[in-house]
Structure 1
Amino acid sequence: MALSHATKDDIPKDAVIINEEEALAYQWNVISNWENRWDVWSLRYGPGILGAMSAATGIYVNNHYRRKVKLGSYGKASTYLPIVVIPAMFSVLTHKFFVQRFVILDQHAECPLCLQLRASVFQGGAGVIYPTILAPFAAFMFATRHYTYRLPSVIKEPLAVFKLWQNMTKPILPVLGAALAGQSMIAMYITYKEQMQNFCLQIKMKRLEQMAEEKQEEERALQAAKNF
């Protein structure tokens, strides 16, 4: 069964009417069980790819600041969870709920570029900006707690802390800029592929439905001929 939007006047008599959540669950079931995975790779693996990119950036940024303040193994799990795991999960969830949902339900079809830009903003924020802001705070906090690096007082010398952060961040700015641009563009591309593959999937489902109906009509005609 292919999904389609229609007004009350345009709904066929034999149509099955379902709400958005049921339609989403049905379409996900179709995507998950589609025989040729290449036809739906962006829909199936897109959020995971974006989450992996966020995790990779988080690992890079976290390790950079940890090395700068000589943390070693101190607070490793405590910094990896908010800087690596949470951004990855946030990337996956935001893409699924705020991008893929609209793609699959064919909402905002009048502005596909808006959806691509939305995906880009979410990915840039979750995958690069969030871990970049949080990583130095976490590193400084654990460095102060475990006395691995002499840091100026945030209360008494905020400008000195800012300059220290600036000096530590400056070497990786080109990498962060490339990561931000790259992840944003990849998010847009994946969203574009999701839109195209969802559209193609709907066409294929309608063709299969039409073929099934034609086959049923042929069987009815043959049965009627036999009975005659």
Structure 2
Amino acid sequence: TATAKPPPTFYAQLELANNISSDEEKAKLLQHLLCINNLSDKMLADIVECIITIYSDQEKYELLQLVLKRSSLSNKQLETTVELIHDIRSDNYKANSLKTLLSREQFIAQHFSIIIEATEEIYSDGDKSNFYKDLMNSRYLQLVDYCMLLYAIKNINNDASKRELLCKLAPKLPKTNPKISRAYIDAADSIYSSQDKATATLAFQ
């Protein structure tokens, strides 16, 4: 639970983990701590703080998966995991971590802006586009979320990826809303290729 008391040895083990220089050995000890059934918000935040000291993105990613597989995560704990995702440097691991979060649809809807902010740190258009394809299927997105997503799509460099995303998103959008229309047209207009631009624009008709 969010306010559970730590087991007697929890902070001793966490201190030991913090003092271990080997990523692999540190990760093993943190895996053990993540097996504790009831982790309070503070306990999980302290574990994540230790995970951030690991250099290996793979180790961070695997530990993050353990966190996200926990059955009952509070909103505060989910926010803590997003902080960890920010700390992952690899585009692939970052995108896959965000994908794991997608099953928490209500959290995604409530914290859409910080999810989009995390995707802006992904340099690969491919990884970013693949995540946006999944993100747009979230059931709880509001108008403001669609506007943010359109702005994020606009910032993708690859014309084909941008066109594909816009064409996929267009049927989901309320075309009579002026803010959505403006955001969509702005995104389509940012496509350099005339053919891709035309295809994306027509998809919104």
For the criterion TM > 0.5, the same-fold answer is no
TM-score (norm 2): 0.26
Flag the structure with higher helix content. 1
TM-score (norm 1): 0.24
Larger CA Rg, structure 1 vs 2: 1
